[in-house]
Amino acid sequence: MSEELRVSPIETRGVAGKRRFAMVVDTRRCIGCMACQVACKAEYDTPLGVNRTWVPYKVVGKYPTVKKQFLPRLCNHCDDAPCVRNCPVEATFKVEDGGFILQRYERCIGCRSCMAACPYNARFMLPSHRTYTPITNVVDKCTFCFHRVTQNLVPACVQTCIGRARVFGDINDPKSEVSYLVATNSTQVLRPEEGTKPHVFYIGADRNATEFGRDAYRQPEVMELERSAFKRNFKI
């Protein structure tokens, strides 16, 4: 990213001497095995009904040439994150070295302002009952596996991806694989019009899955039926 595109002083992409971690998701390689989702669940004991990463799909094309188009989703660790701006108690913050957007659980008051601010639905409220982890009733999100990356490991979803659809690294380092992939492929980010400068880049993402289509409009009554069916066993 050129210096001219940098708007806010919080942005660290392309700043010399600072790391800026990013993920490239090559949707051409994703087979929809959901192993990333499972690995993430196992890493964090994420409760039922909520996810730090999830893999929705759409069936695109016309019979007989149809295919499932997967779009792995997670927090975009935006360079200019609206959730950081909106948290009234600075429970959400950006790590300058690396660009991780993290959450201080002990400080979060659960006002859900960050959830409303996030254009990607990457944040969720942890339920009041969890089996092994005492962190409840606060907002949670993907951390880009901060605890693993600081130990020179890649995030759990990247580690487990059998198709190598997910690649992780420092985009400020021109020799990293993510820099190479972003430089040599046509990439998309989700909802670029919001100006959040997301740091999850997609290769080959289908516009049917990345943009709002007419399909997103449902009568609330109809949607409620589907939602209650989807969450029939999920109570916060």
Q: Which of 107, 164, 207, 235 binds another protein (CB under 8 A)?
A: 107
Distance (Å, whole) CA 61 – CA 31: 17
Q: Is 85 helix (H, G, I), strand (E, B) or coil?
A: helix
Cβ neighbours for 91, distance < 8 A, ≥ 6 positions apart? 103, 104, 105, 107, 108, 109, 114, 138, 139
Query: Cβ(62)–Cβ(69) under 8 Å?
Result: no
Under rule CB under 8 A, residue 5 binds another protein: no
Stretch that binds another protein, among 95-103, 120-128, 148-156, 170-178 (CB under 8 A): 120-128
Q: Which of 1, 33, 95, 115 binds another protein (CB under 8 A)?
A: 115
Q: Which of 15, 86, 135, 148 binds another protein (CB under 8 A)?
A: 86
Under rule CB under 8 A, residue 95 binds another protein: no
User: Is the peptide bond prior to 64 cis by the omega test (within 30 degrees of 0)?
Assistant: yes
Q: Which of 121, 153, 192, 235 binds another protein (CB under 8 A)?
A: 121
Give the nearer residue to another protein in terms of CB position, either 23 or 122.
122
Q: Which of 124, 144, 168, 201 binds another protein (CB under 8 A)?
A: 124
Q: Which of 48, 230, 231, 54 is nearest to 129 (CA)?
A: 48
Q: Which of 9, 216, 232, 233 binds another protein (CB under 8 A)?
A: 216
User: How near is the Cβ of 149 to another protein at its closest, in Å?
Assistant: 25
| Window 158 to 197, contacts with another protein (CB under 8 A) | 191, 193-196
Distance (Å, whole) CA 72 – CA 221: 28
Query: Cβ(114)–Cβ(139) under 8 Å?
Result: yes
Query: Cβ(6)–Cβ(85) under 8 Å?
Result: no
Q: Is 111 helix (H, G, I), strand (E, B) or coil?
A: coil
44 φ/ψ angles, rounded to the nearest 5 degrees: -120, 5
Stretch that binds another protein, among 13-21, 38-46, 83-91, 141-149 (CB under 8 A): 83-91
Q: Which of 30, 36, 74, 87 binds another protein (CB under 8 A)?
A: 87
Q: Which of 7, 31, 42, 89 binds another protein (CB under 8 A)?
A: 89
Give the binding site for another protein (CB under 8 A): 51, 54, 56-59, 73, 82, 85-90, 107-113, 115-121, 124-125, 137-138, 191, 193-196, 211-221, 223, 226-227, 230-231
